[in-house]
Structure 1
Amino acid sequence: MRQKSLIQSRLKKYVTLLLITLISLGNGLSAQAASRIKDLVSIEGIRDNQLVGYGLVVGLNGTGDSLRNAPFTEQSIVAMLERLGVNTRGAEMKAENVAAVMVTASLSPFARPGNRLDINVSSIGDADNLRGGTLIVTPLKGADGEVYAVAQGSIQVSGFSAGGDAGSITQGVPTAGRIPNGGIVEKEVNYSMLTKKELHLSLRTPDFTTSRRIANVINKEMGTKTAMALDPSTVLIIKPEAYNNTMVDLVTDLEQLYVQPDRKAKVVVDERSGIIVIGNEVRVSEVAIAQGNLTIRVNETPQVSQPNPLGQGETAVVPRTEVDIEDDAGKKFALLKPGVNLQDLVDGLNALGIGPRDMIAILQALKVSGALHAEIEVM
């Protein structure tokens, strides 16, 4: 009797360990399928700001703008030299080592004066190559017309161009380049989170279900009604009265929570490259599919007909045409059962032995017939 009780005790212990293991595996799979709130949303008001400026690149090896075809380059050179105390008005210029460029950068949120920015430089004239050039001090302005950064430095160009009198070769884009850390922030965008009592989370992919799930997870974590889904793309966060930390701390705590995002059933196709992306939510009603190819090949193999050495006549080219027709009449129907998942759909289409481009046509035909319950987006 004692031995039986011992066996039951051990069996109960093993069952408990097995249940704990299964629950842990289930939680691990759930965590892997879910995503952090940080990766699903952005905070309204915290964003990059685009900067743009006009400048000159000097030091080119004869690959700059031709001043005759780019008069703005000559005007810019004259204006720059006048600011430096050199008067060149009325003089004829033949500089070939200067190019007019547009300078762009992205000012990250909370960037402070003195921070560095990566700079993009692109030619707007007829310069052939910016390799080896140096960008002169260029103010970068925002959409409000204010100067937020200044750019200067040597340009790094990944493309190149070479050639001679008979031909040339170009790889990449030699008329555009980058200046890593070539910009210095001069003015910051004023935005403070310390005094805020509420924030708006903007979903990167708007969806009613996802926004409500985010609000529910946040409320469960905080133990009070802290979040509310306003629409498919916005979740309102209100700082609880009992929360003694700052809004930065609140955002840090919430953005690490995991949420299972929802999405529409969608099929994305690119007919040019033959790429097909099918979402896991795509479903198909019961339908039979058949696909066949009719291939016609026409080969021209002209022959030369010559007369006999002692006869009369002329040498002539006689056309000869060969026509070959292939009809895949042996193709069979593939039956897709109703409510199949992604794997069944792919297996059913692969059973026809077709390529990606024919599969795109079949998916579009399924949509027209009403059997494909998904949205098709053509890139």
Structure 2
Amino acid sequence: MKAKSGKRFRWAAIIAVLWLPFFSLPAFAERIKDIASMQGVRGNQLIGYGIVVGLDNTGDQTTQTPFTTQAIGNMLSQLGVNLTTEQATKLQLKNVAAVMVTTSLPAFAKPGQAIDVTVSSMGNAKSIRGGTLLMTQLKGADGQVYAIAQGNILVGGIGATSGNSKVTVNHLSAGRIPGGATVERSVPTAVGQGGFVYYELANSDFGTAQSMVETINKAMGAGTAQALDGRRVAVRTPEDADARIAFLGRLESLEVKTALPYAKVVINPRTGSVVMNQKVTLDPCAVAHGSLSVVVDGAQPGTGQGADIQVNQANGTLMNVKAGVSLADVVKALNALGANPLDLLAILQALKAAGALRADLEVI
């Protein structure tokens, strides 16, 4: 009897071991370069003040934005066109707008490299669509010029105006110029000082840090890597520069087993875009959604009647949102609310604050 019991126990143990992988949490393999960044290797923010020309009467109203007129006068004087103070103050250029130009100088960027820039109106321009940014110096925090920007602006929106009526799709006061800036000065970036480089995980996780250390030590030799905390990992590198570059290139391609990917919802308030990954889930909750509209009918001159103002509020109902354990369930629940993309931004923030949205919110 004891022999049979022992045999049964061994078979039960074997079956349990065979079935264990099916009940354990799945692991994902990610490259080190995808989950961590090297400390000290980062971009640098650049900013500049510029002028956009070529607009279709949608530029700044110079009477309300005197800095636009002043900038035009300074630019013309540098080009050999001298205006008196009285002439400069009388400029009415509706096809010109003052803008701020921003970008990030990538690590290891060298002179001559092209980078993208973002152009944003700082006056009261109605739209910068179709405009051209004139040569603009982009400076860093130290006041030095690191890039020069110029080019035609791409705006992801459209608008039309007729009389007192106006229709706008997306945001027209900001746009981008792909490859619109040329790097003029590089920022020295030291790698491997003191024989060590430090990797920082994108998200603090002790398990991922330990898994990363084990992967590096297995591939590069024991004692090569050491976890300092839940975010930083110190890696010993060769002293020779060529050997260090080859070592880091091989290191970044190593695959590390990580836990389930983080649930995240990314929202863009300017375009109303909402993007979520497959790990987003919902807990049961109740949501009341209604809309408030204000309609102002301007007074007609000479009629003696004031403006007609009407306030309309839709009947908001309290809706029961069922729990969603998959992306399809979440999308179905949100669509049942009947909200447009802009309303959905507020609903998602409220769901997160109430603890019903199991995901991180990121605004871009």
TM-score (norm: length of structure 1): 0.62
**Residues 185 and 157 (structure 1), Cα distance of their counterparts in 2 relative to 1, 3 Å cut:** same
Residues 139, 145 of structure 2: 8 Å contact kept: yes
1:112 aligns with: 110
* 1:251 is aligned to 2:242: no
Q: Specify the code of the residue in structure 2 equivalent to 1:248.
A: I
Structure 2 match to 1:90: 86
Kept in 2: contact 1:269–1:377 (CA 8 A): no
Q: How does 1:364-379 map to 2 (within 5 A)?
A: 379=361
CA-to-partner distance for each residue in 1:248-288, whole Å, 9 max, x for gaps? 11111111222112479989899xx9x897689xxxxxxxx
What is the CA-CA distance between 1:143 and the residue it aligns to? 1.9
Query: How high is the TM-score relative to the length of structure 2?
Result: 0.65
Q: CA RMSD, aligned part only?
A: 4.3
Residue number in structure 2 paired with 1:37: 32
Is 1:162 aligned to 2:184, yes or no?
no
Distance in 2 between residues matched to 1:199 and 1:209, nearest whole Å = 20
Question: Which amino acid letter does the alignment assign opposite residue 137 of structure 1?
Answer: M
- CA distance in 2 between partners of 1:226 and 1:266 (Å): 32
1:218 CA drift (Å): 0.8
**Residues 69, 166 of structure 1: alpha-carbon distance in 2 compared, 3 angstrom cutoff:** closer
- The counterpart of 1:125, out of the listed 123, 126, 129, is 123
Of 177, 195, 198, 1:197 maps to 195
Superposed displacement of residue 157, structure 1: 2.1
1:135 to 1:234, Cα distance in 2 relative to 1, 3 A: same
AA paired with 1:87?
A: N
Work out whether residues 115 and 183 of structure 2, in 8 Å CA contact, stay in contact via their aligned partners in 1.
yes
User: Residues 282-326 of structure 1: CA distance to partner in whole angstroms, max 9, x if unpaired?
Assistant: xxxxxxx9x999xxxxxxxxxxxxxxxxxxxxxxxxxxxxxxxxx
What SS is found at the alignment partner of 1:34?
strand
Residue 365 to residue 101, structure 1, CA distance change in 2 (3 Å): closer
For 1:76, the aligned partner's letter is A
What amino acid is the match of 1:188?
S
Alpha-carbon distance, 1:158 to partner:
2.5
1:159 CA displacement: 1.4
Q: CA deviation at 1:90?
A: 2.1
C-alpha contact 1:207 1:262 (8 A) present in aligned 2: no
Alignment correspondent of 2:206: 208
Q: Do the aligned partners of residues 147 and 244 (structure 1) sit closer, same or farther apart at CA in structure 2, a change above 3 Å counting? A: closer
Deviations, residues 94-136 of structure 1 (Å, cap 9, x unaligned): 2211100011112111111011111211111111121222111
Cα deviation for residue 82 of structure 1 reads: 2.0
Aligned: 1:72 with 2:67: yes
1:324 equivalent in structure 2: none
Q: What residue number does 1:137 align with?
A: 135
Larger deviation: 201-210 or 75-84? 75-84
Deviations 1:205-253 (A, max 9, x none): 1111211111111111122311100011100011257x89522111111
Partners in 2 of 1:189 and 1:47 — Cα distance?
10
CA shift for structure 1 position 377 = 5.8
Cα distance 1:246–1:194, how it changes in 2: closer, same or farther (>3 A)?
Answer: farther
- Note closer, same or farther for the CA distance 1:134–1:278 as it changes in structure 2 (3 Å cut): closer
Q: Give the CA deviation at 1:189.
A: 0.7
What is the match of residue 56 of structure 1?
51
CA distance in 2, matches of 1:365, 1:125: 38
Compute the displacement of 1:31 (Å).
11
In structure 2, give the amino acid aligned to 1:225.
G
TM-superposed CA distance for 1:155, in Å, is: 1.5
Is the contact made by 2:101 and 2:119 (CA closer than 8 Å) also made in structure 1?
yes
Change (3 A) 1:156 1:355: closer
C-alpha displacement of 1:70: 0.7
Paired AA for residue 39 in structure 2: E
Find the aligned partners of 2:230 and 2:69 in 1 and give their Cα distance.
Answer: 53
Distance across 2 between alignment mates of 1:195 and 1:185: 26
In structure 1, give the amino acid aligned to 2:50: G
Aligned equivalents of 1:362, 1:137: Cα separation in 2: 45
> Contact 1:65 / 1:125 at 8 angstroms: preserved in 2?
yes
Structure 2 SS opposite 1:129: coil
Q: Does structure 2 retain, via aligned residues, the 8 Å contact 1:268–1:278?
A: no
Identical-pair percentage: 40
The Cα shift of 1:163 comes to: 2.1
Bigger Rg, which one? 1
- 8 Å CA contact 2:32–2:251 kept in 1: the answer is yes
Q: What is the rounded CA distance, in whole Å, between the counterparts of 1:366 and 1:130 in structure 2? A: 40
In structure 2, the partner of 1:334 is none
SS across alignment from 1:119 = strand
Secondary structure, aligned partner of 1:103: strand
Point out where structure 2 has 5 or more consecutive residues left out of the alignment. Answer: 1-17, 268-273, 287-319, 338-347
**Change in CA separation of 1:139 and 1:365 when aligned onto 2, cut-off 3 Å:** closer
Asked if structure 2 preserves the Cα contact closer than 8 Å seen for 1:160 and 1:170, the reply is: yes
Structure 1 counterpart SS, 2:212: helix
1:249 is paired with a residue whose SS is helix
